[in-house]
Amino acid sequence: MIQSETPASLIMIFGATGDLAKRKLYPSLYHLFQRKKLAKHFAVIGVARRPWSDEILRNHVKDSVLTSIPDAERIDEFISHFYYQAHDVADSASYIELKNLATKLDQNYSLQGNRVFYLAMAPEFFGTIAEHLKKDGLTDTEGFHRLVIEKPFGHDLESAIELNKQIRNVFSENDVYRIDHYLGKEMVQNIEVIRFANAIFEPLWNNRFISNIQITSSEMLGVEERGGYYEKSGALRDMVQNHLLQMVALLAMEPPIKLNPKEIRSEKVKVLRALRPIKDTEVPNYFVRGQYGPAEIDGKRISGYREELNVNPDSNTDTYVAGKLMIDNFRWAGVPFYIRTGKRMTAKSTKIIIQFKDVPMNLYYNSDEKLAPNLLVIHIQPEEGITLHLNAKNTGQTMETTPVKLSFSTNDIAGYNTPEAYEKLLHDCLRGDATNFTHWDEVALSWQFVDKVSQVWESHKASFPNYEAGSMGPKEADQLLEQDGFFWWPVTN
């Protein structure tokens, strides 16, 4: 049951000394605390291998909060709720010590046995930790027990099934919160509201009125120090299997009969089931891969992917993916969903562009120009908002048209401070709301879809690098749309 107030709980963060905890989890927890969205009764145990003390962890949490919120109030009170437990993930003795500390905090803080286990660490340990939590008695309390897992959830369908089995031996599906941080983003959550709370869009939201949908999630950074992980992942697994397919599902799903996790998920699953499967020989018609090469930007040399730390100098890993997805159902038959994502592109931007079909007859040819199509742009980041592109009359003694834009931007609203995705997701998990987490069925179907592509790519060496750092990707990605009579709308306006 979803609770309106956050209940008392003990949060155990595995990977407490890591980067994710420092950059995202501690500041997000602090925000919840400051906004009084954490119960008064809460405690956090940071769990990791290093031999830290409570005091070292508390100072670390304080630093991480002050880095993003320099004027954080009541920070000392906040960090007093943190405890540290040095831990060996494979050793029962470690879990028993952890259990003893948890029992003590349960009593001291009146936590009613409610526990959230947040695994913010290397995925190879997810299964082992889940098994130990049960075997060593950490789930033997009266309250709820929820497992929060960061991505990647497996490496392909087979490994994901294996991991899921291990986890489900301990936690029921309802208690597993698989994070896809895109689902915590304000404007990703807004997709559903824009669609289902406005009478003007839903009647047009189908293959009679929409010609194609484009989703771009581009990054300017390279792989930084994550070469080791990225070599085994690539853009397809890192971004498409989860974030991009989740956005496709939200854009394409039918209206749920109710706004609860079960109904929403079941509509999203239907979209993923309707994705047209791709045969091996068809992969090049639907997917394009890329890898960035070196470039000079503003007089500075940018390394190519193959020169990055922990990357094979002959690497076949994709740092860019463009794809054309077809959803074979009544609503979407014939409408391509084009997706693209990559590292070291021109801009950091996530945008969804819905392109409507042309008007049936154009009365307003402006000399030789065609009328611009109507576009609905959903700006996910860095700007947040929506823009509707229309045609209107040019002012003056003329009947020529001119493109105009109706825009709504949350960035323009004073005091509208969008909470960080992690803050919302942590809050949801503490209240038992799994709507914005991925259900196993969604994970399995997404892997099934992308596995086909990765199998073909892994068995054929690509001629990489094929796009320059700082560009919008390889030219084949443009051809993917050109062959259908479309082009990528720029993401920079």
Chain position whose Cβ is nearest to ligand BG6: 238
The contact mask relative to ligand BG6 for 304-343 (x = CB under 6 A, - = no) is: ----------------------------------------
* Least distance CB 238 / ligand BG6 (angstroms): 5
The nearer residue to ligand BG6, 341 or 391, going by C-beta atoms, is: 341
Within residues 160-219, the interface with ligand BG6 by CB under 6 A covers 181, 219
* Least distance CB 223 / ligand BG6 (angstroms): 8
Q: Is 384 in the site for ligand BG6 (CB under 6 A)?
A: no
243 carries an active-site annotation: yes
Q: Residue 87 CB: number of other CB atoms within 10 A?
A: 21
The nearer residue to ligand BG6, 192 or 238, going by C-beta atoms, is: 238
Q: Residue 406 CB: number of other CB atoms within 10 A?
A: 10
User: Distances from the Cα of 5 to the Cαs of 9, 52, 113, 425, 491, in angstroms?
Assistant: 12, 33, 17, 15, 39
* Least distance CB 319 / ligand BG6 (angstroms): 10
**Phi, psi dihedrals of residue 463, rounded to the nearest 5°:** -95, 85
193: CB partners within 8 A, 6+ apart? none
User: Distances from the Cα of 146 to the Cαs of 100, 131, 143, 300, 430, in angstroms?
Assistant: 19, 14, 10, 47, 9
Within residues 75-104, the interface with ligand BG6 by CB under 6 A covers none
The nearer residue to ligand BG6, 219 or 428, going by C-beta atoms, is: 219
Q: How far apart are CA 211 and CA 70, in angstroms?
A: 47
* Least distance CB 350 / ligand BG6 (angstroms): 6
The nearer residue to ligand BG6, 276 or 348, going by C-beta atoms, is: 348
The contact mask relative to ligand BG6 for 109-148 (x = CB under 6 A, - = no) is: ----------------------------------------
Supply the DSSP symbol for 244: I
Q: How far apart are CA 56 and CA 41, in angstroms?
A: 22
Residue with tokens 């130990």: 132
User: Is the preceding omega at residue 51 within 30 degrees of 0, hence cis?
Assistant: no
Q: Is the dihedral of CA 8, 14, 18, 20 positive or negative?
A: negative
Q: Is the dihedral of CA 161, 164, 168, 170 positive or negative?
A: positive
* Least distance CB 210 / ligand BG6 (angstroms): 25
* Least distance CB 75 / ligand BG6 (angstroms): 26
Query: Are 241 and 325 within 8 A, CB to CB?
Result: no
Burial class (CB in 10 A: 0-12, 13-18, 19+), 382: exposed
Q: Is 442 in the site for ligand BG6 (CB under 6 A)?
A: no
* Least distance CB 185 / ligand BG6 (angstroms): 7
The nearer residue to ligand BG6, 220 or 297, going by C-beta atoms, is: 220
**Phi, psi dihedrals of residue 406, rounded to the nearest 5°:** -105, 120
Among 31, 243, 379, 389, the active-site one is 243
CA 365 from centroid of its chain's CA atoms: 42
The nearer residue to ligand BG6, 20 or 325, going by C-beta atoms, is: 20
* Least distance CB 288 / ligand BG6 (angstroms): 19
* Least distance CB 235 / ligand BG6 (angstroms): 8
Size of the site for ligand BG6 (CB under 6 A): 5
The nearer residue to ligand BG6, 6 or 291, going by C-beta atoms, is: 291
The nearer residue to ligand BG6, 219 or 318, going by C-beta atoms, is: 219
Residues for the chain: how many in total? 493
The nearer residue to ligand BG6, 151 or 324, going by C-beta atoms, is: 151
**What is the per-residue DSSP string for 104-160?**
HHHHHTT-TT-EEEEE-S-GGGHHHHHHHHHHTTTT-SSS-EEEEEPSP--SSHHHH
Query: Are 472 and 488 within 8 A, CB to CB?
Result: yes
Query: Each residue of 442-470: b (16+ CB within 10 Å) or e?
Result: bbbbbbbbbbbbbebbeeeeeebbbbbbb
The contact mask relative to ligand BG6 for 233-262 (x = CB under 6 A, - = no) is: -----x------------------------
Residues near ligand BG6 (CB under 6 A): 151, 181, 219, 238, 350
Residues acting as catalytic residues: 243
